[in-house]
Structures are given as structure tokens and as C-alpha cells.
A = this chain, B = another copy of it.
Amino acid sequence: MPAQPTRRPPTPGPSFDLATYLETQCQAVNRALDRWLPAERVRPATIHRAMRYSLFAGGKRLRPVLCLAAAEACGGSATEAMPLACAVECIHTYSLIHDDLPAMDNDDYRRGKLTNHKVFGEGIAVLAGDALLTQAFEIAVQCRAWPRYSHQTVVLELARASGSLQLIAGQVADLEGEGQPLSASQLKYIHERKTSALLCASVRLGGMSANCTAAQLEALTVFGYHVGLAFQIIDDILDVTQTSEKLGKTAGKDVAAHKATYPAIIGLEKSRRIAARLTAKAFDALRTFRGRAQALEALAGYLLRRDR
């Protein structure tokens, strides 16, 4: 598969079966999460039911699968990357639970199911998010440590990508920008932090679990940043162009909430071109791996072409 810079992502070749890969990795991630999370019957049952409700609500497992694929591209194994993949998914899920709260985005549906606070109440939803965030660190340090990538390094990576300068910064800017006219650069600031930061950390952590070289880590950083930004722009586009049924959440909600989106600020066609260009840059970064990044390539192509 060619990895030269291109305006259009290469169609995954017949040599790589993305559907099977996705299904296999998702199942492995689900099994691992199930093993690490306290069972529903463990006291206090409410909190474990609430944590599991959102964690197993049918998410695409994009971040953990990217983490595993990054580990494999660096010659590592999915098994050794698994604690980090699961930690990243716990962080992602906690951020969704808190984002959906009435005081934030006030969303009733997520992935076609009622949001956490609609089922368990606001108090438990706050605590379920807190518990998943805390659990993420407990799970992350189960990974294998290397001299270059110690447990200190991976905890710092995870904490910084999720902290007040990245993931939370994006959510704050999003909250503060609601109902206000945002510039394209302000919107980029939000998307970089709300989406790119954790996605970038996902592939970097995958690389770290495989004891990757400095060059590989740099390539994964460039890849993760660009895929993350493209992913969020496509989310904005789908909110405008798709039905609620297909998205599993309220479509057109960004428009209704006067939320700034790429299509609203720069138009639909230009948004599509930017997403394609970002994806091309992500592909370009994978050249370092000389054909060993087939899964990452296929995943990036899929993310650009998806319709929900």
C-alpha cells in the first residue's frame, strides 16, 4: 500500500481485513476491561453498574484499537499494550459521562442509549466519571515498564493528555464558547484538546509499550495529532449531514445549540478538504514504519470515510 503523501487516503488493500481486525481487537479490549473493572455486584453496586453501563455502551473502541495497532507497528504486542489501551478508554468514557451532564452539554442520548445521568441520576454520573478516571491510572500501571518508558513516563503521558492543559482545557473552551461566534483558530484549539490530545496519547502509549524508538514515537505523535483533528472535523460534518438514528445521538444538535463547528465556520466542502488533507499528513507519518503500520493506515482511512 503506498504511503506517499496524497490528497485522498489509499483504499485499504485486499491484504488487510479491517473489519476482522476491528472486531478481534474490540473483543480483546472488551474482555480486558471486563476483567479490570469491579463486577456489578461488588458493593456499592450502583457505582459499578453505572461505570459499566457507559463503558460497555457500544463505543467504537477507536482509541484503544489505535493504541494496540501502534504497539504492533513498533514490533510490540497487543497484550503488552492492553493496560494502556484500556486506561485510555476509561478516560474517554469518563469524559463523555461528564460532558453529557446537564451543566455541560446536557445530552439525553449517547450511542443510541440514555446517557449515564438519565439512568443513574446526576450525582452517581459525576461519581461514575470520577471512578473511571481514577481506575484509568490503576489499570495503566499494570503495563510493562521499560527503562526508557517507565511507569512514571506513562502516568505523565496519560495525566497530561487528560489534564487541565489538554482534554479538560478543550472542554472548558467548548463550554465557554457555547452560543458565541468562534473563529476557525479558536475551534481548532478546542478540537486539538478535546479530541487530538487523547488520541495522540493513545498511539504514543501504544508505541511506549513496545519500547519504540524516538523516531517511531515522533511518527506516532504526528499521526495521532492529524488523525485526531481529522476525526473531530468529520464528527462535525456528520452532525450536519446525518440523521440522529444513524449517529445514535441527537443529530443537528451542534447547530441547534449554536455550537461552532467546522462546517458552520468554513463551509462543508472546505471542511471535507481539510479533513482529507489532515488524513494525508497522518498517512505520510506512517512511512517510518515501512509497511508495518497496515492496521494504523486502514484505521485512518476508515475514520475519514465513515458515515457515523
Contacts and interface: CB of A to CB of B under 8 A. Distances in A.
B175 A159 contact: no
Contact of A103 (B38, B104, B126, B135): B126
A134 interface: yes
Interface stretch (A42-50, A72-80, A210-218): A42-50
Interface stretch (A12-20, A137-145, A243-251, A259-267): A137-145
A121 interface: yes
A126 B42 CA distance: 26
Nearest to A135: B163
In terms of DSSP, what is the predominant structure of the interface of chain A?
helix
Contacts of A172: 44, 46-47, 124, 127
B134 A156 contact: no
Interface in A91-125: 94, 98, 101, 103-104, 121-125
A26 interface: no
Interface in A22-54: 38, 42-44, 46-48, 51
Number of copies of chain A assembled together: 2
Contacts of A138: 155-156, 159-160, 163
Contacts of A150: 151
A57 interface: no
Interface residues of A, number: 50
Interface in A139-179: 140-141, 145, 150-152, 155-156, 158-160, 162-165, 168-169, 171-173, 175-176
B130 A165 contact: no
A163 B121 CA distance: 19
Contact of A176 (B46, B135, B140): B46
A133 interface: yes
Given A98-B127, A131-B164, 11 more contacts: A42-B165, A43-B169, A44-B172, A44-B173, A47-B168, A101-B122, A103-B125, A104-B123, A134-B159, A135-B159, A138-B159
Interface of A: 38, 42-44, 46-48, 51, 94, 98, 101, 103-104, 121-127, 129-131, 133-135, 137-138, 140-141, 145, 150-152, 155-156, 158-160, 162-165, 168-169, 171-173, 175-176
16 contacts: A38-B164, A38-B165, A44-B173, A47-B169, A48-B164, A98-B130, A101-B126, A127-B168, A127-B172, A130-B168, A133-B133, A134-B163, A134-B168, A137-B158, A138-B160, A155-B155
